[in-house]
Amino acid sequence: MALRLGHSRPTFTSRLLQFTQTRVFSSSDSDTNSPQTHTKLALLPSLQPSEDAHVISQLLLQHRNPFHAMESSLQLYGIRISPQLVHQTLIRLKNVSKIAFSFFSWAQLQPGFAHDSAAYDLLIDFLARVRQFDVAWQLIVEMDQHNVKPTSTTFRVLIRRLVAAGLTRQAIRAFDDMGCFVEKETDKDDFCFLIETLCKYGYVKVATEIFNKRKWEFKPDGKMYTVLIYGWCKVNRPNMAERFFREMGERGIEPNVVTYNVLLHGICRRSSLHQEERFEQTVRDARNLLEEMRQRGVEPDVTTYSVVLHVYSRAHKPVLLLDELKMMKDRGICPNVATYTSVVKCMCSSGRIEDAEELLDEMVRNGVSPTAATFNCFFKEYRGRKDVDRSLKLYRRMKE
């Protein structure tokens, strides 16, 4: 039976009780999590199609009244509440945390229903996003009281929001308190998540401090060092990144292609492309790093070449660009759309429009679809040449 607003019912109590009685969910309402790699928050429910959750969220948003209880808006019947419905409704209320919290509290009072850890994680995320950290902590304590064990995801949600709010010390304390609530011991992955989150939001000094203090407790690995190298590159301190790269080698930890790509990106970012000496030094450093990769048996990938080609493109070095692109293809690495666009942009801005057009044809032959940014490189050059015919021809090609 469909959801509807019951205007003619004598009391809201009967309507609320009927909310839990008669409907079984369709498969479209079930929650499916998309697993992700590395230390991202992979376990939070994602938005899924759910007509019931949509109707409930819209009803709460449109009929909420600050002077009445939540029940005055939940005049619903003909549906059975379930964890999936709660997840999907909360997700749709993520930008109105007060209503999300009220709905969560109401659902908790329904006979025979209990929230799972994912529902708590979602609400903690929404509350922490608006800096309601005290309430978020209360929910974590409440989880334990309701026999719902907090998980690593629960604390990762809180840690991420604390760091995003600039509360780095509180985030570290939350990490330290994790062991008191979570069944499993705090491990290297949890520590790496803390380090990575601090680096992501620009607090690499704090990340380095806690890394140096606790690296004897959590044995560092390649992923942990790569995160720190990324953090220092992010704040334009490639010298510090290189220091950790060297320390990594001294510990006998072999860098992989991701580590090299992160460091290479940091090296290429530091050059001021308006100074020839600095650019030449950057090119030498990048080439030396590429050579070191090969000597260690780490083959460059498309990201490696894309970083180098992007620098050549910004520096308007078309000859170097084409040579590096040829070397890339000779090694069996197919350029992606970002790589092609960097080269096309340089060819166009250098007046080598024919070379750029050949690259566009090559992209299509290789099954790489040009983007609007790719086409805009041509239109800008055609406009400078006042070449209307070529512009129209390219426009028709875009429309095909």
Domain boundaries, the chain: 1-113, 309-400
Burial (CB < 10 A; 0-12, 13-18, 19+), residue 237, is middle
Residue 74 binned pLDDT confidence (cut-offs 50, 70, 90): low
Q: Which residues of 312-328 are buried (b: 16+ CB within 10 A; e: fewer)?
A: bbbbebbebbbebbeeb
What distance in Å separates the CA atoms of residue 267 and residue 76, rounded to the nearest whole number? 60
Burial (CB < 10 A; 0-12, 13-18, 19+), residue 112, is exposed
What distance in Å separates the CA atoms of residue 191 and residue 170, rounded to the nearest whole number? 15
What distance in Å separates the CA atoms of residue 142 and residue 121, rounded to the nearest whole number? 12
What distance in Å separates the CA atoms of residue 191 and residue 197, rounded to the nearest whole number? 10
Distance in angstroms between the alpha carbons of the first and the last residue of the chain: 46
Q: How many angstroms separate the Cα of 18 from the Cα of each of 12, 33, 47, 52, 112?
A: 10, 30, 26, 15, 13
Q: What is the DSSP string of 320-361?
A: HHHHHHHHHHHTTPPP-HHHHHHHHHHHHHTT-HHHHHHHHH
What distance in Å separates the CA atoms of residue 243 and residue 203, rounded to the nearest whole number? 18
Question: CB of 36 within 8 A of CB of 42?
Answer: yes
The percentage of residues in the chain with a pLDDT greater than 70, rounded to a whole number, is 84
pLDDT score at 311: 82
The mean pLDDT of the chain is 84
Question: CB of 227 within 8 A of CB of 196?
Answer: yes
Residue 160 has pLDDT above 60, yes or no: yes
pLDDT digits (tens, 9 = 90+) for 133-158: 999 999 999 998 898 999 999 999 99
In the block, residue with structure tokens 């290297």: 188
Q: Name the CA radius of gyration of the chain, rounded.
A: 28
Range of 5-19, 269-283, 302-316 with top mean pLDDT: 302-316
Q: Both tokens of residue 219?
A: 């044995």
Single pTM value for the model: 0.80
Question: CB of 176 within 8 A of CB of 213?
Answer: no
Q: Both tokens of residue 359?
A: 């690259």
Q: What is the mean pLDDT of residues 159-163?
A: 98
Residue 270 has, within 13 A of its CA and on its CB side, a CA count of 24
pLDDT digits (tens, 9 = 90+) for 8-65: 333 322 333 333 232 222 333 333 332 233 444 557 999 999 999 998 899 888 876 5
φ/ψ bin of 367: left (φ > 0), alpha (ψ from -120 to 50), beta (otherwise): left
Residue 273 has pLDDT above 70, yes or no: no
Tell me which of 164-173, 311-320, 370-379 is least confident: 311-320
Tell me which of 67-76, 97-106, 259-268, 353-362 is least confident: 67-76
